[in-house]
Chains A and B, each alone.
Chain A
Amino acid sequence: MFNKLKARQPFPPLRTWAPVLAVSWFLPGGGHFLLKRHGRGALLAGAITVTFLCGLLMRGAMMEPRFADLVTTIIHVGGYLGNLATGVLYLLTVWLGYAQPDVAGHVHDYGTKFLVGAGLMNVLAMVDAFEIAVGRKD
């Protein structure tokens, strides 16, 4: 079975994918625009931005890294990384003072999930842009 596996391709040079990945992180959908995939870029930018804005309007909290037991650490560090993955949306929210503290209530809770979810969507967009940039995907 292992003999049938294709030989691993050499990793593509940094300059072919690093700028795309950086732009894709900073500006959701931006990597696709850089690669001239305007339709896909617009769809991703719209969906990610709307998710993030809904999260903010629901008064969701920005997660901060907290280290305690394993579950708490995974939730808080993972959530923080998810927030960071939204790039400029996260940075503007924090810099302009729109980050809100965690409060009880199902709407706020959904808001927090929307904010993290927007980051995870952007991670998907970054992976997609990377694959297009290195030629693994059309």
Chain B
Amino acid sequence: MLRMTLTHLEAAILFAGLISAVLGAVTQDTTRDRLRYGLRCFGYFLLALFGLGWLMYFGHG
């Protein structure tokens, strides 16, 4: 069976992209709105990802 090995960052970015696509699809009606909302969600996910990452980095000292 095939195997996929990703780093923490790659896995989190992949998940953020996929869930953003779903959130865009179920909450908006037009393709343009879906794309915009999906990209905005993806941006928020990345912001949270890097923000929490740095928080944990400084938290560990």
Q: Contacts A44-B26, A107-B6, A110-B6 known; A98 to B1 CB distance under 8 Å?
A: yes
Our pick among A107, A125, A128 for the contact of B11 (Cβ within 8 Å) is: A107
Residues facing B in A66-92 (CB within 8 A) are none
Is A47 a contact of B18 with CB atoms below 8 Å? yes
Q: Which residues of B contact A111 (CB under 8 A)?
A: 4
Docked Cα-Cα span, A91 to B18, in Å, equals 22
Q: Contacts A39-B31, A54-B14 known; A125 to B22 CB distance under 8 Å?
A: yes
Q: Is B2 part of the contact surface with A, judged by Cβ < 8 Å?
A: yes
Residues facing A in B1-41 (CB within 8 A) are 1-6, 8, 11-12, 14-15, 18-19, 21-23, 25-26, 29, 31, 34
Q: Which residues of A contact B (CB under 8 A)?
A: 39-40, 43-44, 46-48, 50-51, 54, 57-59, 98, 106-107, 110-111, 113-114, 117, 121, 124-125, 127-128, 138
